[in-house]
A and B are shown apart, each in its own frame.
Chain A
Amino acid sequence: MPTATYELISTSTTSGTVSSITISSIPSTYTDLVLVTSGTTTSAGQLIYRMNNDATGGNYTTTNWFQSNNSVSNNTSSGLPGAYIGNYSVSGRAQDTLHIANYKNTSMWKTFYIYGGAGTSVGDFITSGGIWKSTAAISSIVMLVNGANFTTNYKVSLYGILAGS
């Protein structure tokens, strides 16, 4: 019998300007996680994800491939205190979907893939991926903006996907 999955674990919306958003107490029930976010930031800046709030420089490698300001670019960052994604505008509404495979596996590093963007004159379309160099199960995710804050009504929804039998 197929198992219905892709379950909403948590959802929240900011009620004011905040410097960070934390999704905590992630259950170990699922196989993959999907984090869907949308909102605006107080100014342009890269979105930052930290797994288990790990801010250790060197624990992340992230490659961004994006279109911004009428040009296609790509970059790789390694050694930063988080996964640095994209470059978002203040006036647009950015939407991102982050996939994390095998988030609770304790023998492998965690690979993630994200796509999204902000369709404004100073926004971008991005597709990015990276690794968190840790074998720890992911139990929380912290979101920040490099040099900026999240504004009111920034929505964050976490989903869990079960594997089949």
Chain B
Amino acid sequence: MPIIGTIASSYRLPVVSSGYFALATTTLGAAANTVTFSSIPSGYEALEIRMSVRGTSSRARVAFRFNGDSGNNYYQMYAVGTGSSSNGGADYGSTFNELAIIPDSSAQSGATAIVLATIIDYDSTTKKKTTITHYAAPTGSSTMLIGGNACMWDNNNAITSILIQGGFVGTGDFEAGCTFSLYGVK
């Protein structure tokens, strides 16, 4: 019997391995100046770092340093709104990427900042590394800061470690109870 018509090509849905993976979390049992994520595996499309933080000093900040590089290889643009004004600026050739302003010792107790940082192509060996952050930081019982930073590490090496620094340019600690979580995104 003749075969009539055509047989459509078989179609298989592509197998996609994707997802959002929790790699590590640190919760401080006591105040600490730094938190480090090390031995960061390659193979993800991006890293995301989620933080719930406040500092012990005045002018508390969150800052990143990659692969132990303490040179003047970090650049950032920042913008922040207070609810009554906006401010912005840039830092060139710093020794850290500054990511966010966070509540300090004078801020309302019991309140932390939420800081979200994303690094796409963190394991590339041909690209500079860009970190984008968004954050909301209570500075009092009735005041907030909303901000975002665009940062660059002027280095083509894959990121294998992230040192997270509290304080302002190396001073000050993160309070006990602060949490830092690292995620890999495929």
Chain A residues engaging chain B, CB cutoff 8 angstroms: 2-6, 31-32, 61-65, 72, 74-76, 78-79, 99-102, 107-109, 111-113, 115, 127-131, 133, 135, 161-165
Contacts and interface: CB of A to CB of B under 8 A. Distances in A.
A113 B22 CA distance: 20
A62 B82 CA distance: 10
A163 B112 contact: no
B55 to A, nearest CB: 14
B184 A63 contact: no
28 contacts: A2-B21, A3-B21, A4-B19, A4-B20, A4-B21, A5-B22, A61-B143, A61-B144, A62-B144, A63-B83, A65-B81, A65-B83, A65-B86, A75-B83, A78-B142, A79-B142, A101-B52, A101-B179, A107-B177, A109-B112, A112-B136, A128-B136, A128-B146, A129-B136, A130-B136, A131-B144, A164-B24, A164-B183
Secondary structure type dominating chain A contacts: strand
B84 interface: yes
A62 B138 CA distance: 9
Interface string B23-66: 11101000000000000000000000011100000000000000
B114 interface: yes
A126 to B, nearest CB: 9
B135 A163 contact: no
Contacts of A101: 50-52, 112, 114, 179
Contact of A2 (B23, B27, B114, B146): B23
Contacts of A128: 136, 146
B22 A129 contact: no
Closest CB pairs A-B (n = 9): A129-B136, A76-B83, A65-B81, A6-B20, A63-B144, A164-B22, A2-B21, A163-B25, A78-B142
B148 interface: yes
B110 A107 contact: yes
A109 to B, nearest CB: 5
B150 interface: no
A31 B183 CA distance: 13
Contacts of B141: 61, 78, 133
B111 interface: yes
Interface residues of B, number: 42
Contacts of A164: 22-25, 181-183
Interface string B2-30: 00000000000000000111111101000
B119 interface: no
B52 A63 contact: no
B84 A76 contact: yes
Most chain B CB within 10 A, of A3, A63, A133, is at: A63
Contacts of B144: 61-63, 76, 129-131
Given A129-B136, A129-B144, 4 more contacts: A76-B144, A101-B50, A129-B135, A133-B141
